[in-house]
Structure 1
Amino acid sequence: MKFRLLLSLVLLALLAGCATRPGVADAVLHGDAAHPAQAQGWVDTRLYFGLGLADQPQQGISEQAWREFLDREVSTRFPDGLSVVDVYGQWQGKQQASPERLRSKMLVIDYPDTPANRAKVEAIRAAWKQRTGDQSVLRVTQPADVSF
């Protein structure tokens, strides 16, 4: 009986050592301003970019042109990370009788909610509209609870 109790205690001690082994418990990326363990005052912004008519994929903005825009206008402003999702969208502009079906990209950026970062987002939207002649880049921003 004493042997079983002693063996159980030894096994528990060994298992506890595994749980606290360096590299296991602290494998979460955090510790700097770009990757906080827990952050308040951050927002999640989604931007929707129309690339061209869905039924005319050979026209409009190519994947290469999109990546060049992403590299030049977005990644330079938000180098710490972002996501891009291919989406299908519809848009009915002013004076149009029916909506257009569009190949689209949704850009997702999470960042501290500061005037400087909001200005960066607006600069991205303006650059796209200038480049393409589009009337709009839809922006959806909401509070975000983030951790890394």
Structure 2
Amino acid sequence: MRAVALLLLLAACQAGGAPPACPDGTGPAAVAELAFGRNGPDGTLRVTDADWADFLAEEATPRFPDGLTSFDASGQWRGPDGRIAREPAKFLWLVMPAASLEEAHARTKPVAEAYRRRFRQESVLVVLRGTCATFQGS
């Protein structure tokens, strides 16, 4: 029983954002992964590739001028009626060296909110995690 309690305590500490012990040559970083659905409520494409490029240039790049990664994805979710809806999506991957999870959240929240407003989307999935990172060869 004590072993289970200790494992739960260790898991809670790690989940709470305690920085990882990073290997030599790397440092702590926060990673944010954002998934943006592209369809409207009627299931038709609402956000074109040109719309996405404009959004990146106007909203994401100014907030993350040091770099970001964007790629196409396919998403699915269960609607209130119980049916599975599938839609094309865009994925934004952000690595923020030396940032806490709180900082990462504060920096990504305006991007998600801007997308929701601009394209009348219900939500944007945001995943935050702590990790170690480096640029090899730099």
| TM norm structure 1 | 0.65
Answer yes or no: is the 8 Å Cα contact 1:88–1:103 preserved in 2.
Answer: yes
- Tell me the equivalent position of 1:65: 51
Letter of the aligned partner of 1:51 in structure 2? R
**1:132 aligns with one of 119, 122, 130:** 119
In structure 2, C-alpha distance between the alignment counterparts of 1:97 and 1:44, rounded to whole Å: 32
Please say if 1:118 is aligned against 2:118.
no
Give the letter for the 1:46 counterpart: E
Pick one of 82, 98, 114 that aligns with 2:83: 98
Alignment identity in percent?
Answer: 27
Residue aligning to 2:3 = none
The size of the alignment, in residue pairs, is 107
| Amino acid corresponding to residue 43 of structure 1 in structure 2 | A
Q: Distance in 1 between matches of 2:27 and 2:67?
A: 16
2:103, 2:35 → 1: CA distance? 21
Aligned position for 2:60:
74
Q: Which structure has the bigger radius of gyration?
A: 1
Alpha-carbon RMSD across the aligned residues, in angstroms, is: 1.9
Gaps in structure 1 of 5+ consecutive residues: 1-36
Task: Compute the displacement of 1:45 (Å).
Answer: 0.9
Question: What's the secondary structure of 1:123's corresponding residue?
Answer: helix
2:74 maps to 1:88: yes
Cα deviation 1:92-123 (Å, max 9, x = unaligned): 34x33312110001100000324454322000
Normalised by the size of structure 2, how large is the TM-score?
0.69
1:141 CA drift (Å): 1.1
